[in-house]
Structures are given as structure tokens and as C-alpha cells.
Structure 1
Amino acid sequence: MRSVLQPQVKGLGDLEPVALRTGQTADLNEIVDALAAAAYARVELVEKRGEFAVRGGILDVFPPTEEHPLRVEFWGDDVEEIRYFKVADQRSLEVAEHGLWAPPCRELLLTEDVRARARAPGRGAPRAR
């Protein structure tokens, strides 16, 4: 019953998860922008779900649906390898056969529409800003 009564954010179902597979061509900057838009936090070292880090051509992502974070290795714009790794010592584990699938992490995503609505009340009351 609670799940039926739970309010849903409009447009949440329209968001595309970030998905990568070995051998795919992808622009790392576009992937980083997509993760940030899906409410992932950029950090230096991935330790918790919903975080990602970039070091050179390596992208670490911890999707909320996975037991371990994933390390995506790029060679230029080509995805060379995707492996799980341990948070404790950052050592690689087995290859992620299904690749990376990173759905949005939060229900409230700061889209341009959400930002505009948040700014609207402050226009009529300068001290509210």
C-alpha cells in the first residue's frame, strides 16, 4: 500500500541509465556529464553507492544496484575493459560481463526545470534568495 501512495517525481522514468559495454565507443566527458545529471557525486576515491571518480582514462562508478563498484578503462574513446573492484583496497575483481548499468541515484534531480522553479519564489522577495 505504501508504494502505491508514494509520490513519484514527474519524468523520473524518462531518464536513461548510463550504460557501457566492453568494445563500445563513448566520450568520457559525456559519460561524466550523464552521471552528474543522474545525481552521482564526483569524488576522488569511490567508497559509497552513488559516487564516481575519474583518473585519466579510468572511470570508477558505484551504481546503487551493484554489490561492488565498477572500473571502466578507456583507450581513447573505446571502452577497453569493465571490472568490479573492492572498495577497501581498490583492487580489481572479476570482469563485469554485463558491463556498466548505472540508473539515477536520487529522485530529485536538478534539471533546468527544477532549478527554475526553485529560483521563482525569490524573484518576488529579494531577501528570500
Structure 2
Amino acid sequence: MNLNSITTSKESLPILLGLKQVSKKNIYIFPTDKEANEFKNNFSNLNENIEIFPGWDTLTYDSFIPSYEIQGKRLAVIHSLLTTKEVNIATSIKAVSQRLFFENLDVVEISIDQEIDFEILIENLIHLKYVRKDRVEAKGTFAVRGGQLDVYPINRTEPIRLIFDGDTVIELRNFNPISQRSSTVEKSSIIVPATELFQINKLDILEAVSSNKNKELDEYELFQYCQNLSSNHSLFNFVDKSSFHIVDIERCK
């Protein structure tokens, strides 16, 4: 793994980034999320495969958890790192310094004409911390109605509807969570875990904070108590052959 510092003018930055690509996976670390997003917006015409790995949209002592949207984006980027041959990621110091509480990323991949045991699919969604409901209206939930399975992956802007014939997926569509009406057809979809804490064992957390092992924890408490765990994982653990580049914006001006 290479850790480089880029100190050049903004005009020549895209050229230098091209020269710096010593590997097919490159991560550019900016001071803030704002500058990482500006980089993608300004240079996406040169490379369409720039992804953003955002930091949590919360502060340390906020009384709420990072949004599903942010968690979904972070998990989707890690999936890209693990499964694609070429990827360019823009991120911030804050994002790469935040700990990750899983050693490997489990996802569900669905495509038209795929054969998958319906009951096993439900078990996999529960393993990924999706909550079964009567009707899918919010991210992180799924519902079953006969041979139809609705699920709202946190990495998608709309929920998806799977129609099965036995154990074969014969239809995959987006749908509106309010009207429940199906819309555009999809060929495939990736469902990432419903939370970054999908591998967390509640007993480990309670033991770390010396609390009653029968105590019920809500999502906010899980995120707060996880900070007491000894996990040292971060984005660096998922990029064995990637090249990290620190972009010094102040010296690029």
C-alpha cells in the first residue's frame, strides 16, 4: 500500500491523479467531505468511476445514528473495493478514520432468472439486519406477500420488488414506497446490510461497557456503545493493493 501526498495546482490535479494511478484501485483523501465531493463533480467528466466514501453525518455525542443513506453509500463503496478490478474513491480524513465493525462484507446479489431459495433469501435479509414488516415504506425493511418480496436496500433510492416463480426470480422492479406502484424494470440489484453494525454481537457490547446482559439496546445505544469495542478496522483494511493519496488542498491553491 502506497501513501502519497499530492501538492500541486488544482488545474494540474487531474493529470497528476492519472499519473499517480500505480494500481487500479485508488483512494484520494481530502481534508473534508465537501472537497471530496467537489473533486468528483469537477473531474467526473475525466473518469466516470469516481465514488464517494462519506463520513458519518453525525457528531460524536449526537443523539441519533448516521442516516441510512450515508451508511448505504459507505457499504456500497466497500463492496466496490472488494469486487471490482478498477475503482477511484474520493473521501475525507474523517471518513477513513472512522472505525468499521465488520471483518468481511456480506451482501445479497439478485438478478433476473436467478434461482434462489425463497426462505434462505428471507434468512439472509434478517442476517443483514433488515426488519420484516407488513408493508415496505422505509429503508432497512422488507415484506413478503405470496411469491412477491419487497425490500428497501439502504444503498438504493427506491425499494425493489422481486416476483418469484417457485425459486426463480422472474421480475425485478423499482416501486414507489408511498403508492406501492411498480415502476422501472431492473436486471439486477445488490442489497448491502441494513446497518454497518450487522456483525455486532450485543453481548460483546454489554460486556465492554460492564452492563446488564439482558438490557435491550436501541440503534442509537448500539452505535454509541460500539465505540467501546476494540475494533481497529477501517477503510485501510479493505484495500490490500490499493494506492492511497493524501490531497493537500491548501498547497494546491
Please classify the TM superposition score into its range, dividing by the shorter chain length: 0.7 to 0.9
Aligned-partner residue type, residue 107 of structure 2: P
> 2:102 aligned with 1:7, yes or no?
no
The answer for unaligned runs of 5 or more in structure 1 is: none
Aligned-partner residue type, residue 109 of structure 1: F
Looking at structure 2, the residues matched to 10 and 40 of structure 1 have their Cα atoms a distance apart, in angstroms, of: 17
- Report the CA distance shift for 1:74/1:128 in structure 2 as closer, same or farther (over 3 A): closer
Matches within 5 A, 1:41-80: 41-80=131-170
Per-residue deviation at 1:6?
0.7
Looking at structure 2, the residues matched to 94 and 32 of structure 1 have their Cα atoms a distance apart, in angstroms, of: 23
- Report the CA distance shift for 1:31/1:128 in structure 2 as closer, same or farther (over 3 A): closer
Conserved? CA contact 2:136–2:150, under 8 Å = yes
Matches within 5 A, 1:1-129: 1-11=93-103, 14-97=104-187, 99-109=188-198, 114-117=201-204, 129=214
Higher relative contact order (CA 8 A, sep 6+): 2
How large is the Cα RMSD of the aligned pairs? 2.2
Per-residue deviation at 1:7?
1.4
Per-residue deviation at 1:35?
0.7
What is the aligned length? 121
- How does the TM-score come out when normalised to structure 2? 0.44
Runs of 4 or more consecutive aligned structure 1 residues displaced over 3 Å after TM superposition? 118-121
Which whole-Å deviations, capped at 9, do the CAs of 1:78-128 have from their partners, x for residues lacking one?
A: 11100111111111101112x2210011121256xx24535768xx99x76
Which whole-Å deviations, capped at 9, do the CAs of 1:35-75 have from their partners, x for residues lacking one?
A: 11111111110001111111111000111121211000000
Looking at structure 2, the residues matched to 118 and 54 of structure 1 have their Cα atoms a distance apart, in angstroms, of: 32
- Report the CA distance shift for 1:91/1:118 in structure 2 as closer, same or farther (over 3 A): same
Partner of 1:48: helix, strand, or coil?
coil
Conserved? CA contact 2:141–2:151, under 8 Å = yes
Looking at structure 2, the residues matched to 108 and 60 of structure 1 have their Cα atoms a distance apart, in angstroms, of: 22
Partner of 2:142: helix, strand, or coil?
strand
Conserved? CA contact 2:203–2:213, under 8 Å = no
Aligned-partner residue type, residue 53 of structure 1: A
Per-residue deviation at 1:16?
2.3
- Report the CA distance shift for 1:52/1:2 in structure 2 as closer, same or farther (over 3 A): same
Per-residue deviation at 1:2?
0.9
Partner of 2:173: helix, strand, or coil?
strand
The answer for unaligned runs of 5 or more in structure 2 is: 1-92, 215-253
